[in-house]
Amino acid sequence: MSDEGKSLLTPAPDFGAPLDLLHACHGRIETQCATLLKLPGHIQVHGADTQARQAATAIVRYFSSAGQHHHEDEEQDLFPLVREHAATNGDDRMLALLDNLSVQHRDMEAAWQALLPWLEPLSRGEPSMCDAAGIARFTALYRAHIALEEQTLLPYGRKALQADQLAELGRRMALRRGIIWPKD
């Protein structure tokens, strides 16, 4: 079999595969959390240097835009579709999980808001008291949340949702970001 025409790189998922896109976003969230966890040690050694400022800026930008969109994708679009299927099929376990995931979104948002008074000044290179405990709480909340979604919600969605539902989910996710999908 010839390898001609095969790409060395796996293409990133697009809005045509919305559950894969949500999965990929979880990977990016994990990367941002890992950077966030490194910041206190870096600042202790190097202060609010260029790397610290750049990292803080990237983290603030990510969780204030893409991270927010990710939660909206789930709360406004994915969860209602899964909830409808679970209710129709009497899946009380999934209904309880969706309620729990929604509460976790509120908890993560509150933890994020608690970090902003430290991260925003740092992104400008201003002295700021590091909130190591807040960072640990925020990243732990996200990691536990992602694990639940990866182990339970996304596999359930892959089995439960029909092609037309996935297409509409992808279209709405794209629209939220100002993108027309599907492309002509």
Q: What's the pLDDT score for residue 181?
A: 86
Q: What's the pLDDT score for residue 56?
A: 96
Per-domain residue ranges of the chain: 18-176
Is 1's pLDDT higher than 70? no
Nearest to 100 by CA among 58, 60, 149: 149
Decide: 157 and 82 in contact? Cβ < 8 Å.
Answer: yes
pTM of the model: 0.90
Q: What's the pLDDT score for residue 134?
A: 96
Architecture of domain 18-176: Up-down Bundle (1.20)
Nearest to 44 by CA among 119, 123, 129, 114: 129
- What value does the mean pLDDT of the chain take? 93
pLDDT digits (tens, 9 = 90+) for 96-138: 999 999 999 999 999 999 999 999 999 998 878 889 999 999 9
Length of the chain: 184
